[in-house]
Amino acid sequence: MSQRTQAGSGVIDLDSYWMPFTGNREFKANPRLISGADGVHYLTPDGRRILDGLSGLWCCGAGHNRREIADAIAEQARTLDYAPAFQFGHPKAFELASRLRDLTPAGLDRVFFVNSGSEAADTSLKIARAYWRQRGRPGKTRLIGRAKGYHGVNFGGIAVGGIGPNRRLFGATLETDHLAHTLLPENTFTRGQPAYGAHLADELEELVALHDASNIAAVIVEPFAGSAGVIPPPQGYLERLRAICDRHDILLIFDEVITGFGRCGARTGADFFGVTPDIANFAKQITNGAVPMGAVVVKKEIYDAFMEQGGPHYMVEFPHGYTYSGHPLACAAALAALDLFESEGFDRQVAEKAGFFEDCIHGLANHPHVLDVRNLGFAGALTLASYQGEPARRPYEVAMYCWQRGLYVRYGGDTLQFGPAFVMEKSDIAEMFNIVGDALRAA
Ligand SMILES: Cc1ncc(COP(=O)(O)O)c(C=O)c1O
C-alpha cells in the first residue's frame, strides 16, 4: 500500500521520492513536512511555526524568504534565465566573481563557479592536481584529508572525507591519506578553540616523510569541522598546517562551505583564524540557500599557471565546468545575498551574539546524556551518550521531541548540531536551548 500524508488541504503520495541523507522508512512512517518559512521560522502544512535551529542546512543565515533576494531572482528570471556557461558569459557572473574576490582574503583572486559544496570539493581537488602538472610536477597527485572531515558526497569529496559511513558503501576512490581528527578527550567542554592539540598538524610531516612531498598535491580541511559535529581547530593548528604546506610546496585547501560568509563571526574562516589557504571552497551562504551555487576561489598564481600552459589562445585551459556554473539566477541571488551580508553586517552580528550563544549551549553541559559541548561563532554541537550499540538513536529521539515542541534541530551520528540564522534574536536562541534542555531531560 502506498504511503500518504496530509499536506494542508491535499494528500501527497510519499512513495516515489528517494530522500537524500534520510532514513526514508522512518520519515515516510513519520513525515515532517515543511511548506513555508518566515524569518527564522519554518511553517508546516498544519499551521505550526518551527524555530529553525540550523539555518536550513547551514545556508540561510540571513533568515528565510528575504525579499531582496526573491526580487533579484524574479527579475533575473525575466531578463536572462540562462546563458551558456562555456565559451560565452553573462555580466553578473563577472560581477559576482569580483565581489567574491573582494570579500575573500587578499591573495584569493580568481573564482570558478560550481553548484554545490560537493562540486566545489571535487573541483578544488582537480585544480590542485592539474596545477602541479601545469607546473611540470605531474607526480604530485596524492590528496590528504582529515578524519571526521566532510567535503560533500562526490567521489573526490568522499575520498578525502573522513566520515566512515559516507564512504563504506562505495569501494575504492583515490589515493588519499587522512590526518588525525582534532576531537581530543582532553578538550571536552571547551568554549571555542581548545588550547591543546596543535601538534596534530605535525602528522602532515609524517605523511611527507612517508610519501615524499614530490608525490603530494594538496591538503584539504574545513577551518572547523562542521558536519562531524562542530570541531573547532586547536589554537595554532591551522597555522602549523599552513607552515608545513609552505615548507613542502603542498597546496592548502580550506573547505569553507559552512564557515564562509558569517558563520564564524568573520567574513570567512580564513579571516577568523588568520590563516590564508591557496584555495577556498564556498557554497551554502553565498546565495543564502535560495539558489544552488558554489565557488572555488584560488590564488592568482594558480590561475596563471593554467593560462601560461594553455596552448593557442583559443584553446580551453581547464577542461572542467558545469552547465550551470555561474547560473544567472544563482548570480543574481548571490549578489543580493552579499548585499545583505554587507549592509546588515552578518559577520559583526554573529561576533556580537556569539558569547550569548556560547553561554546558552554550555548551559546544557550538566544535562542528562551530554558528553561534550563545542562551539564557535554561531555554530555548536552536543555529543550525547549512546544507547548500547546504537550511537545515532538518542540524537534522533531528542530531535523528534524538539520537532514536536516547535524546534528543528539537526542530528547526525551521536551529535546534535546548532547553527542559527545570523539574524536570530537572543530570545529565540534562549528558547531554542530551553527546548533542547527539556528534550534531554525527557530522553
Ligand atoms: C564543509 C562542507 N563541504 C562540502 C559540503 C557539501 O555541500 P553540498 O551538500 O552543497 O554538496 C558540505 C555540506 O554540508 C560541507 O559542510
350 inside domain: yes
201 CB contacts (<8 Å, ≥6 apart)?
Answer: 179, 237, 238, 240, 241, 244
The three grid cell numbers given for residue 182, joined into one nine-digit string? 582534532
pLDDT of residue 1: 67
The three grid cell numbers given for residue 318, joined into one nine-digit string? 581547464
Q: How far is the CA of 257 from the centre of ligand 1 (A)?
A: 6
Domain final position from 296, 323, 343:
343
Q: Are residues 194 and 314 in the same domain?
A: yes
Q: With CA atoms as reference, report the closest residue to 93 among 426, 332, 260, 300.
A: 332
Q: Are residues 334 and 374 in the same domain?
A: no
Test site for ligand 1: of 258, 288, 293, 415, most ligand atoms within 8 A of the Cβ? 258
Q: Are residues 203 and 214 in the same domain?
A: yes
pLDDT of residue 347: 98
Contact 181, 147 (CB under 8 A): yes
Q: How far apart are CA 358 and CA 380, in angstroms?
A: 8
Domain that holds residue 39: 32-62+345-442
Domain final position from 343, 375, 390:
343
113 inside domain: yes
Q: Counting atoms of ligand 1 from 1, which one is nearest the CA of 294?
A: 10
67 CB contacts (<8 Å, ≥6 apart)?
Answer: none
9 inside domain: no
Q: Are residues 196 and 250 in the same domain?
A: yes
23 inside domain: no
Test site for ligand 1: of 54, 221, 284, most ligand atoms within 8 A of the Cβ? 284
Q: Counting atoms of ligand 1 from 1, which one is nearest the CA of 154?
A: 11
Q: Are residues 173 and 142 in the same domain?
A: yes
Q: How far is the CA of 283 from the centre of ligand 1 (A)?
A: 7
Q: With CA atoms as reference, report the closest residue to 372 among 403, 420, 417, 434.
A: 417
Q: How far is the CA of 281 from the centre of ligand 1 (A)?
A: 10
pTM (two decimals): 0.98
The three grid cell numbers given for residue 342, joined into one nine-digit string? 554587507
251 inside domain: yes
The three grid cell numbers given for residue 243, joined into one nine-digit string? 607552515
Q: Are residues 328 and 381 in the same domain?
A: no
Q: How far is the CA of 157 from the centre of ligand 1 (A)?
A: 9
CATH number of the domain within which 270 lies = 3.40.640.10
Q: Whose CA is nearest to atom 7 of ligand 1?
A: 117
Q: Are residues 269 and 199 in the same domain?
A: yes
Packing angle of the helix pair 91-103, 328-343 (nearest 10 deg): 40
Q: Which helix (H) or strand (E) holds 269?
A: helix 269-273
Contact 223, 376 (CB under 8 A): no
Q: Counting atoms of ligand 1 from 1, which one is nearest the CA of 258?
A: 16
Q: Are residues 83 and 153 in the same domain?
A: yes
User: In terms of DSSP bridges, do strands 36-38 and 41-43 run parallel, antiparallel, or are they unpaired?
Assistant: antiparallel
Helix (H, G, I), strand (E, B) or coil at 373: strand
Q: How far is the CA of 119 from the centre of ligand 1 (A)?
A: 9
Q: How many domains is the chain built from? A: 2
Note down pLDDT in tens along the chain; length 443 residues: 689 998 888 899 999 999 999 999 999 999 999 999 999 999 999 999 999 999 999 999 999 999 999 999 999 999 999 999 999 999 999 999 999 999 999 999 999 999 999 999 999 999 999 999 999 999 999 999 999 999 999 999 999 999 999 999 999 889 899 999 999 999 999 999 999 999 999 999 999 999 999 999 999 999 999 999 999 999 999 999 999 999 999 999 999 999 999 999 999 999 999 999 999 999 999 999 999 999 999 999 999 999 999 999 999 999 999 999 999 999 999 999 999 999 999 999 999 999 999 999 999 999 999 999 999 999 999 999 999 999 899 999 999 999 999 999 999 999 999 999 999 999 999 999 999 999 999 99
CATH number of the domain within which 55 lies = 3.90.1150.10
Q: How far is the CA of 153 from the centre of ligand 1 (A)?
A: 8
5 inside domain: no
Domain final position from 314, 343, 372:
343
Long-range contact pairs involving 424-427 (C-beta distance under 8 Å, separation at least 24): 424/40, 424/63, 424/353, 424/378, 425/40, 426/353, 426/356
Q: How far is the CA of 242 from the centre of ligand 1 (A)?
A: 22
Q: Are residues 210 and 328 in the same domain?
A: yes
Q: Are residues 339 and 349 in the same domain?
A: no
HEC states along 100-126? HHHHCCCCEEEEEEECCHHHHHHHHHH
Q: Are residues 317 and 386 in the same domain?
A: no
Beta bridge partner(s), residue 376: 379
Q: Counting atoms of ligand 1 from 1, which one is nearest the CA of 227?
A: 16
Work out the angle at residue 343's Cα, subtended by the Cα atoms of residues 258 and 338, and round it to the nearest 5 degrees: 40
86 inside domain: yes
Q: Are residues 264 and 333 in the same domain?
A: yes
Q: Counting atoms of ligand 1 from 1, which one is nearest the CA of 149?
A: 1
Contact 262, 423 (CB under 8 A): no
25 inside domain: no
User: In terms of DSSP bridges, do strands 407-408 and 49-52 run parallel, antiparallel, or are they unpaired?
Assistant: parallel
Q: How far is the CA of 258 from the centre of ligand 1 (A)?
A: 7
Q: Whose CA is nearest to atom 8 of ligand 1?
A: 117
The residues lining ligand 1, judged by C-beta closer than 6 Å to any ligand atom, are: 116-118, 121, 150-152, 222, 226-227, 255, 257-258, 283
